[in-house]
Amino acid sequence: MSNRNRRSGRPGSSSSAPQPAATPGAVPAGRSSTSPSGTARAGRRTTTRRRYDEPTLFERFRTPIIAGAVAVAVIGTALFVFQSASAAPYSCSTIFEPTAAAQQEGRLGAVEPDMGQAHVSFGEHVRYTYCPPASGNHVNRSGFGPIEPEAYGPNDRSQPQGWIHNLEHGALVVLYSCAERFGGCPSQEELRALEAFVRDFDEPSPVCSFPPRTVGPVVARFDEMAQPYAALTWGRVLYMDEFDPDLATQMFLTEAERLGPDGTLIMPPEQVCTPQSSAAPSASAPASASPGASLSPAASASPSASPAASTTPAPSPSG
């Protein structure tokens, strides 16, 4: 064997034997891949695919959720406003039931415990100890006088905070109930009779001689009562099963304005006029048949000459 064959390690092989063509980029078997610098290449890097997280329930339904929350807020606000507007601005602790001690012989009506005469803001809730209230907190309306003397219908928003101010100025207030326990509201005929009572009322006030319908009478609905009708002057309640216009008028003439033993005006609590009399009736007796004679000159012959006896009695500084 020739030295050439011995070097090649293959019998009969020759260095001139043809070699298989090399495939471009192929790495000969048995040899590791090397970098251009001759070092071994690192293994193939594993590429981490980016994974997108699924959106949350809120993210998927963001718009309808926000719209629903806004709608709930709007509805809640509307309900609050409606309930505030429709809620009664007063409440009662007790329905007044006259006792034997409250009745005074020879006097019309029963004495209701006094609840004061403080002024409150318009719309402020008032809780009365007794209802119907013949005294208590009321609205002064920035110094203006009581509400208009008229017959208010079942759907009119007449509240005790208004007509208590009339009582404070010596008015007669007649109340009727629409409670189911009394069979609901008065009939149309009965309501017309109440309207006629106000329209035809022709009695001046018993001491100050204010013309009729100056501050009263006022007729209004009030359901929280022990009987279907009630006539009120300050601090007194006269219940009636049926409205009696003559009895209500008599209560006005004997109880709405009264003089004390010293001739001072003791009823109503608001000093709406200044009577002058040397022989004043007692506190329990009705005023004289000629009330104008007990008044100061400015309040007698010429009512318009004195604010106290004008067609709109001027309230005192306290209202």
pLDDT at 163 exceeding the cut of 60: yes
Closest C-alpha among 255, 302, 286 to residue 112: 255
Closest C-alpha among 291, 290, 250, 284 to residue 267: 284
Average pLDDT value for the chain: 76
Residue 98 burial (10 A CB sphere; 0-12, 13-18, 19+):
middle
Least confident range from 45-54, 87-96, 215-224, 244-253: namely 45-54
pLDDT digits (tens, 9 = 90+) for 254-291: 999 999 999 999 999 988 898 865 344 444 444 333 33
pLDDT at 174 exceeding the cut of 90: yes
pLDDT at 118: 92
pLDDT at 250 exceeding the cut of 60: yes
Q: Are 252 and 259 in contact (CB under 8 A)?
A: no
- Residue 135 CA to residue 20 CA, distance in Å, equals 125
Residue 195 burial (10 A CB sphere; 0-12, 13-18, 19+):
middle
> Would you call the peptide bond into 281 cis, given omega within 30 degrees of 0 as the criterion?
no
DSSP assignment of the chain equals: --HHHHHHTSTT--TTS--PPPPTTPPPTT---B-TTSSBPPPPPPPPPP-PPPPPHHHHTHHHHHHHHHHHHHHHHHHHHHHHHHS-SEEEEEE----TTTB-TT-SSEEPPP----EE-TT--EEEEEES-SSS-EE--TT------SB--TTS---HHHHHHHHHTT--EEEE---GGGTSSPPHHHHHHHHHHHHT--PPPTTT-PPTTSS--EEEE---SSSSEEEEETTEEEEESS--HHHHHHHIIIIISEE-TTS-EEESSS----B--SSPPPTTSPPPS-GGGGB-GGGTT-GGGSGGGSSSPPPPTT-
- Residue 108 CA to residue 254 CA, distance in Å, equals 8
pLDDT digits (tens, 9 = 90+) for 181-199: 999 999 999 999 999 999 9
Q: Give me 298's structure tokens.
A: 């400015």
pLDDT digits (tens, 9 = 90+) for 124-141: 899 999 999 999 999 986
Q: Are 169 and 145 in contact (CB under 8 A)?
A: yes
Backbone angles phi, psi at 77, to 5 degrees: -65, -40
Q: With bands split at pLDDT 50, 70 and 90, how would you rate the model's confidence at 149?
A: very high
CB-based contacts of 296-304 (< 8 A; 24+ apart in sequence): 299/208, 299/209, 299/273, 299/274, 299/275, 300/209, 303/209, 303/210, 303/211
Q: Are 146 and 236 in contact (CB under 8 A)?
A: no
Least confident range from 80-94, 156-170, 217-231: namely 80-94
Q: Buried b / exposed e across 23-50, counting CB within 10 Å, b at 16+?
A: eeeeeeeeeeeeeeeeeeeeeeeeeeee
- Residue 115 CA to residue 128 CA, distance in Å, equals 8
pLDDT digits (tens, 9 = 90+) for 5-58: 444 555 454 445 555 555 555 545 555 555 555 655 555 555 555 555 677 777
